[in-house]
Amino acid sequence: MKNNLRTCLAALLLCVLLLPGLSTAKSDNPSQIDVSRNNLIGYMLSKQLPVMHFSDKVMDDDLAFAAFDLYLKQLDYQKRFLLQSDVDKLSILAPGIDTNLLNGTIILPEVGCKLLNTRIGEVEKITKELLDRGFDYNRDEKYETDPEKLKYATSLSDLSERWRRTLKGQIISRYLDLVEEQQNEQKKKEGVEVEKKKSEKELWAEAEEKIAKRNRNFFNRLRQETKQDHYDRFFNAVARAFDPHTNYMPPANKEDFDIHMRGSLEGIGALLREEDGYIKVVSIIPGSASFRQGRLHAEDIILEVGQGDKEAVEITDMRLRDAVRLIRGPKGSEVRLTIKRPDGAKEMIPIQRDVVQIEETFVKSTLLEGSGGEKIGYVMIPSFYRDFEKTRNGSNARNSTDDTRIAIEGLKKQGISGLILDLRNDGGGSLMDAVDTTGLFIKFGPVVQVKNSYGNKRVLSDDDTSITWDGPLLVLVNQFSASASEILAAALQDYGRAVIVGGAHTHGKGTVQTLLNMNDNIPLLHLRRYEDLGALKVTIQKFYRVNGGSTQYKGVEPDIVLPSLFQHLKSGEQYLDNSLPWDQVEPVPYEKSGLASFDVDALLVKSQKRVANDDGLQAIADEAAKASERAKQTSISLKFSDMKNKREEARVAREKIGAHYLKYREEQDANHGNVAGSRSDPEKDKERWKEEVKEDPYIVESLHILAGI
Identify the CATH number of the domain defined by range 246-359: 2.30.42.10
Intervals of the chain under pLDDT 50: 5-31, 253-255, 257-265, 658-680
- Tell me the C-alpha distance between 54 and 61, whole Å: 19
* Partners of residue 264 on adjacent β-strands: 271
Is the Cα dihedral 59, 65, 71, 74 positive or negative?
A: negative
Active site residue 509: yes
Angle formed at CA 671 by CA 569 and CA 388, multiple of 5 degrees: 100
* pLDDT for 679: 43
- Assign domain 362-512+544-598 to a CATH class: alpha beta
pLDDT tens for 533-572 read 999 999 999 999 999 999 999 999 999 999 998 877 888 9
Please give the span between the terminal C-alpha atoms of the chain, in angstroms, as a whole number: 50
Compute the half-sphere exposure of residue 586: CA atoms within 13 Å on the CB side of its CA. 7
Question: What's the CA gap between 648 and 95, in Å, rounded?
Answer: 50
Count of alpha carbons within 13 Å of 529, Cβ hemisphere only?
Answer: 17
- Show me where the domains of the chain are located: 1-184+199-242, 246-359, 362-512+544-598
Catalytic residue among 365, 430, 483, 550: 483
Alpha carbon distance 340, 347 (integer Å): 7
Residue 483 falls in the annotated catalytic set = yes
On the 0-12 / 13-18 / 19+ scale of CB atoms within 10 A, 663 is middle
Task: Give the residue from 663, 569, 582 showing the smallest Cα distance to 624.
Answer: 569
**Which one-letter DSSP state was computed for residue 484?**
H
494 labelled catalytic: yes
Residue among 45, 29, 47, 25 nearest 37 (CA): 25
Q: How far apart are CA 343 and CA 631, in angstroms?
A: 4
Q: How far is CA 300 from CA 74, 343, 444, in A?
A: 18, 10, 41
Identical fold for domains 246-359 and 362-512+544-598, yes or no, is: no
Distance separating alpha carbons of residues 287 and 272, to the nearest angstrom: 17
> Looking at residue 461, what is its pLDDT?
98
Q: Which of 364, 509, 554, 639 is catalytic?
A: 509
Which of 86, 98, 403, 494 is catalytic? The answer is: 494
